[in-house]
Structure 1
Amino acid sequence: VDFELTVGGEFAELTRLFEQIRTDGVTPKTHARIMAKGELLSTRLGAAYLAQQGLATHWLDAREWLRAEVAESGMDGQEYLSAVCDCSADERFATYLADRPDTIFITQGFIAGNDTGECVLLGRGGSDTSAAYFAAKLQARRLEIWTSVPGLFTTNPAKNEDARLLTRVCFDEAQAIATMGGKVLHPRCLQPCRDAKIPVQISWTDAPHVAGTRIELSHEALTPGVKAVSSRADVVLISMERDPEWQPVGFMADVSACFQRHGLSIDLLSTSPGNIRVTVDLSTSPNARTIIEACVADLTEVCRPSVDWDVNCISLVGRGLREQMPRLAPVWSSLPPEHVRMISHSADDTHWSCIVAHEHASDLVRQVHRLLFSEGCEDQPFGPTWTTLKRHAEAPDWDGEAATDGARGGDEQLLPFGRYLLDAAERRRRALLKLTEVSDGA
């Protein structure tokens, strides 16, 4: 690949942006343009390489097809750093692709364009969100997300190897898992597919023979109950006190108005006549801490606010959780009262959450997961443990027979890109065998 011809223009613009920062400083606009370069550079190089291999390839500029909507949040820089795009069906876009049936299109995640043609970012989880936007605009049959893990789990597998793969969940459950701390998907990426009635398949790039997680449109065939135990560290607990009154009028309105003025969304909420406690998700904006500090300063006009930055949110996530209360009794009794700062039950019955001191969160999550999933979870949607899946990834079933412990979805479930990855891995394996034979013969 001719490096200068392929990406020389991108590096030249990057140099100009750095010179601009010397005089004007970093603005949200220049921040977005610089952060976008990773996607622009990698996709240009990828498209050039595939074209060099003789494949009909077209580099598609996401900024021309994904259009950011006008930001309604008061957060500084929101329109450039955490934009939301229109994802209604786009017949012009569908026709543009359909007219080139033999072409491989390579585009970017994480970036879009606004009405004036400027580059904007989609925020954390932006690449998956881009895929969801494109799927919705094209009215796709399915969105496939190929990633570094097999799918959604009953807890974070990086911290607990007993975490079990969730093979099937509904959109309500997937949304709750993502919102309450699951790292595989960003909550924002699910809504476009849900609205367009497009199922989502999460698959493992390293082991395409593993079934992964399917997010289904209907929950009627799925069993209700707790599906995951999650933990979030990027939250802050804000307590607001004033002298208690019987049936106080306007306290909640005053507090809510202050949060609204600063463009902050309240995450969890607990109230009493003289005290309101809320959490705010710090991941919603790169400037969240600064904005919260300004909001707390304004809150002093209506209450006595205090902030606890050193907390985690532990959540039991699923569907129909009220009906699970008898089963959850051992879980609640296992939580040391002195560690719990707040408890919240979601109005849609998809999660029970408690705010705990940060230093106790990991041990509590492991303890709760063991109580809920160590036994009695042999049926769907609970698949293999992370330990089992890693073993299958290291030694896949090359002869085509189904792997044990439900790790493989079967050939009928292997997606087209998965077949490509599996074929490529098999070709690499055979090439290595030939090299070994040559080496042994020498």
Structure 2
Amino acid sequence: MLIVMKFGGTSVGSAKRIAQAAQLAADTAAKGHQVVVVTSAMSKVTDGLIAAARQASTGQWDPRQRQDLFDRHKAVADALVAGNDTRHGELLDILRQRLDRFEKLCYGLSMVHELTPRLLDAISGMGEMLAAPLVAAAIAARGRPSTAVDATELIVTTDQFGGAEPLMDQTRAKTAARLKPAIARGEIPVVTGFIGATADGVTTTLGRGGSDYSASIVGAALDADEVWIWTDVDGVMTANPAEVSEARTLSDISYSEASELAYYGAKVLHYKTILPAFRRRIPVRILNSFNPAHPGTRVSVDGDPSASGVKAVTSIRGVILVAINGTGMQGIPGIVAKAFDVVAEQQANVLMISQASSENNICFVLSAAEAPRVAAALRSALEVELMRGNIDEITAEQQVAIVAAIGDRMRGTPGIAATVFGALGREGINVIAISQGSSERNISLVVTEDDATAAVRAIHRAFRLEQV
């Protein structure tokens, strides 16, 4: 099989962790598989790069930041390739060259005082460019030929800096041309996660969950058999174990379930991460580099066909419910359209929508950061309707949470909603708003933030998810 193995920041956070990741890659290759590795930056490095860029934009560039980065990565190089002076020297030269560029960018930024999205991408993506040579050197030290490859040579993206999207036709051509000959020679390429480049060669980043996204893109471009995401948890769980101590790891879930769980707050995967793999029907495994014997979670087209009903419960905190209320809204065309035009103009992400069939109320959930400006914009845009009395009020309710019960095979299964609301009723939890899509893949509801943990536990217990 051709396997793309992605290692997250905690999985490459130290010399010991990189050595473990390298051993996992080498062991997989020893079993007869072809392997491509995608690596994140070492833990906390990306945050440090962004902080340095922002500080430099105020005119306060400190050269010690470059030295601190060099010292941390040099210590790892010292541990990984001890006894091989030639390889060690080459590795340090690569680190110096990349940090020279980092220093030049930050020094220039301290002169112009303007941190553009394009420049931030160039700086924030350097952590992966420092980590990849270390991972490749560690794999080579275990007897497997390995070379670091910058994803700027492979992944062609749009110029949407900070959240670029791959152009898959061009990416497939470049990735195949660059990686397939190396794979055929038995090498293990180590690709930088998180970054890509425009068709003109300008560095971009792929946004939140970027390194996982990179692995899915590379896997799709190579028509890999599987993509393995190595992280610091055993897989996707039936609930957040910090909230539900009885939560269990799910052995198999579908792409759609993974997407729903990621969208509604599960932290293991970002919802867009799996899209390239999904489109090529490539299974994605979530594995724990700290517990590699655990089988993890397999994400595939069909998931677990034998499972029925609710499979997991998750929640989103830090959100606000914005509601438009008015008995005069009924039969008045255009209010809903105008409301969502405002939301779009504010570039706000709507997490959930609910509307009464009487048309007297429509509400939607936004992040706490976005809701105040959206509510203010709504009051301005709907001023005439408020004056006429078509709308009574526009409110933004604080301290709410979305709780979602998720499962592919909820569709057509009687009693799911009754079980959910019966469980909440027994706990005395008031439901503020409800939403269910026609796919019947999830039931989402809004409760007070204080009730969110109890709601998750009640639903988890009602469906006996601890027994999966």
The TM tier, using the shorter chain, reads: 0.7 to 0.9
Give the corresponding residue for 1:312: 401
TM alignment of 1:193-342, pairs within 5 A:
193-218=277-302, 221-242=305-326, 244-272=328-356, 273-280=359-366, 289=369, 292-300=371-379, 301-302=381-382, 304-335=393-424, 339-342=430-433
Give the corresponding residue for 1:174: 258
CA distance in 2, matches of 1:221, 1:332: 26
8 Å Cα contact 1:7/1:45 also seen in 2: no
Residues 234 and 44 of structure 1, relative CA distance in 2, 3 Å threshold: farther
Three-state SS of the structure 1 residue aligned to 2:267 is: coil
Amino acid at match of 1:373: R
Three-state SS of the structure 2 residue aligned to 1:165 is: coil
Amino acid at match of 1:253: A
Give the corresponding residue for 2:116: 27
Residues 275 and 168 of structure 1, relative CA distance in 2, 3 Å threshold: same
Work out whether 1:349 is the aligned partner of 2:428.
no
Number of corresponding residues = 362
Long gaps (5+) in structure 1: 71-78, 283-288, 383-442
CA distance in 1, matches of 2:465, 2:354: 31
- Deviation string 1:71-115 (CA, Å, 9 cap, x unpaired) is xxxxxxxx2112221234724422432222222211111112123
Three-state SS of the structure 2 residue aligned to 1:120 is: strand
CA drift at 1:314: 0.7
Three-state SS of the structure 2 residue aligned to 1:188 is: coil
CA distance in 2, matches of 1:104, 1:263: 42
CA distance in 2, matches of 1:117, 1:240: 47
Between stretches 189-198 and 266-275, larger displacement belongs to: 266-275
CA distance in 2, matches of 1:243, 1:116: 55
Amino acid at match of 1:121: T
Residues 225 and 42 of structure 1, relative CA distance in 2, 3 Å threshold: same
Residues 306 and 166 of structure 1, relative CA distance in 2, 3 Å threshold: same
CA distance in 2, matches of 1:40, 1:65: 14
Give the corresponding residue for 1:422: none
Residues 299 and 20 of structure 1, relative CA distance in 2, 3 Å threshold: farther
Work out whether 1:361 is the aligned partner of 2:452.
yes
Residues 171 and 276 of structure 1, relative CA distance in 2, 3 Å threshold: same
- Deviation string 1:138-172 (CA, Å, 9 cap, x unpaired) is 11111121221121111112433311111112222
Give the corresponding residue for 1:12: 100
Amino acid at match of 2:175: F
Work out whether 1:56 is the aligned partner of 2:145.
yes
8 Å Cα contact 1:91/1:138 also seen in 2: no
CA distance in 1, matches of 2:214, 2:144: 24
- Deviation string 1:227-262 (CA, Å, 9 cap, x unpaired) is 001011143322233552332211111112122223
CA distance in 1, matches of 2:465, 2:308: 18
8 Å Cα contact 1:155/1:163 also seen in 2: yes
Three-state SS of the structure 1 residue aligned to 2:447 is: strand
Give the corresponding residue for 2:231: 147
Residues 134 and 234 of structure 1, relative CA distance in 2, 3 Å threshold: farther
Report percent identity of matched pairs: 27
Task: Provide the TM-score with structure 1 as the length reference.
Answer: 0.75
Over aligned residue pairs, what C-alpha RMSD do you find? 2.5
CA distance in 1, matches of 2:465, 2:345: 46
Task: Provide the TM-score with structure 2 as the length reference.
Answer: 0.71
Three-state SS of the structure 2 residue aligned to 1:7 is: helix
CA distance in 2, matches of 1:65, 1:361: 43
8 Å Cα contact 2:353/2:362 also seen in 1: yes
8 Å Cα contact 2:310/2:407 also seen in 1: yes
Three-state SS of the structure 2 residue aligned to 1:310 is: strand
8 Å Cα contact 2:155/2:175 also seen in 1: no
- Deviation string 1:271-307 (CA, Å, 9 cap, x unpaired) is 232322112357xxxxxx3x65443332122165333
